[in-house]
Amino acid sequence: MSVIKGVADYYQIPLSDPMLYGLSGHAFVINIHRDICPSGPYIWNHAEFFRLVKNLGIATEELGFFDPSSNR
């Protein structure tokens, strides 16, 4: 969300942090894996979030998951 806030600030989209969280749907995201693992927001389906962020005038592009082995 800090990236979304940075983009909104850069393009002078006058929305507060709480408004960005609410309008993007991120305030309402809960991810509980069936194994109750601490995967958090790393494995949830981002499609709805990306769709809602477009309503803010911000386009997103998923770049995939990166870890140290990705640099090889």
- The domains of the chain are located at 8-64
Amino acid at 2: S
> Residues 34-63: pLDDT tens digits?
776 666 666 677 888 889 999 898 988 877
Measured CA distances, 19 to 8, 35, 70 (Å):
11, 32, 35
Tokens representing 13 are 């989209």
Confidence (pTM): 0.67
Q: What is the pLDDT of residue 60?
A: 87
